[in-house]
């Protein structure tokens, strides 16, 4: 199975490149399943129902989120009726929405997607490792699911690496999100799980983490806010990860970064273009 994961989409610039490029990429790569992290899609803060539907119409199968999931208050309502939008799975019981789900890929495979959030330098939630363990115990790879994909939304690379090794051999992929900077440590772990510490940001990289530079620079220099953060406008780069799983085991056969745009060195998965 071929899976494309699109890293944190920031603002209109990020949304535009996804809507413009994803239909072409899905056809070019013959992708069976597409996941997108959309927690910064609405001006850099949260996601709206209209934006959520735009992503689904463009060819996204599942939208994951993170600590900004509730920045647009409407998300508390529409997430209950949109089962393809996930929120962090280690929120307290009773939180609207769900943090994991089973989905059908284009090739007919049953895919379990989990969306845990880390604890280091992040909101104080329940243990993400125990939350993942409960899901794996209830639905194992090759038993209840043909593929298991984990979007681990976390700040610390150590915590992300720990989750990778924790799930190694039991998940198809552990993809780190949140820091908006693509890392170069894409690999297949010893047990067969695809891993990367951060898939990167889909947005304008002539920015500070997708935000217009003036206000972040001002706060670093003066410690005094002058205005609101605003998502950077202009050309964007689509960043993410592509990986392929073995149809028999559900484990990863290949993994590669994906970068479409002019701001970073372009990369496409060679194993899908041969």
Residue position matching structure tokens 């880390």: 118
Pairing of strands 187-188, 194-196: antiparallel
CB 150 within 8 A of CB 171: yes
204-245 per-position pLDDT tens digit:
999 999 999 999 999 999 999 999 999 999 999 999 999 999
At 205 the pLDDT is: 98
CA–CA separation, 69 vs 71, rounded Å? Answer: 6
Enumerate domains of the chain plus CATH numbers.
Answer: 2-273 (3.60.21.10)
274 pLDDT band, cuts 50/70/90, is confident
At 198 the pLDDT is: 98
At 27 the pLDDT is: 96
Indicate whether 103 pLDDT > 90. Answer: yes
Q: In what order do the strands lie in the sheet with 173-177?
A: 100-104, 110-114, 147-153, 173-177, 194-196, 187-188
* Active-site amino acid positions: 68
136 pLDDT band, cuts 50/70/90, is very high
| Residue 246 in tokens | 């073995």
pTM: 0.97
What 26-31 contacts at long range (C-beta under 8 Å, 24+ apart), as own/partner pairs, is 26/59, 28/273, 29/2, 29/4, 29/242, 29/269, 29/272, 30/2, 30/272, 31/2, 31/3, 31/4, 31/106, 31/242
Other Cβ atoms closer than 10 A to 63: 26
């Amino acid at each position: 199975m071929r899976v494309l994961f699109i890293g944190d989409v920031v603002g209109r610039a990020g949304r535009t490149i996804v809507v413009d490029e994803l239909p072409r990429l899905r056809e070019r790569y013959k992708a069976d399943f597409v996941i997108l992290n959309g927690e910064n899609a609405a001006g850099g803060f949260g996601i709206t129902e209209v934006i959520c539907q735009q992503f689904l119409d463009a060819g996204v199968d599942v939208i994951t989120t993170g600590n900004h999931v509730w920045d647009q208050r409407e998300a508390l309502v529409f997430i209950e009726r949109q089962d393809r939008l996930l929120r962090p799975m280690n929120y307290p019981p009773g939180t609207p929405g769900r943090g994991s789900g089973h989905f059908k890929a284009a090739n007919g495979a049953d895919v379990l997607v989990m969306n845990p959030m880390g604890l280091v330098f992040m909101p104080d939630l329940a243990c993400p490792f125990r939350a993942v363990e409960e899901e794996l115990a209830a639905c194992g790879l090759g038993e209840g699911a043909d593929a298991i994909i984990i979007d681990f939304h976390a700040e610390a690379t150590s915590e992300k690496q720990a989750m990778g090794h924790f799930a190694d051999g039991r998940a198809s992929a552990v993809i780190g999100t949140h820091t908006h900077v693509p890392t170069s440590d894409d690999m297949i772990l010893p047990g067969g799980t695809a891993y990367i510490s951060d898939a990167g940001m889909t947005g304008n990289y002539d920015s500070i983490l997708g935000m217009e530079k003036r206000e972040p620079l001002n706060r670093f220099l003066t410690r005094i806010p002058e205005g609101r953060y605003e998502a950077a406008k202009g050309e964007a780069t689509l960043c993410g990860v592509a990986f392929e799983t073995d149809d028999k085991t559900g484990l990863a056969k290949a993994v590669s970064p994906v970068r479409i745009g002019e701001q970073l060195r372009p990369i496409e998965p060679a194993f899908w273009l041969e």
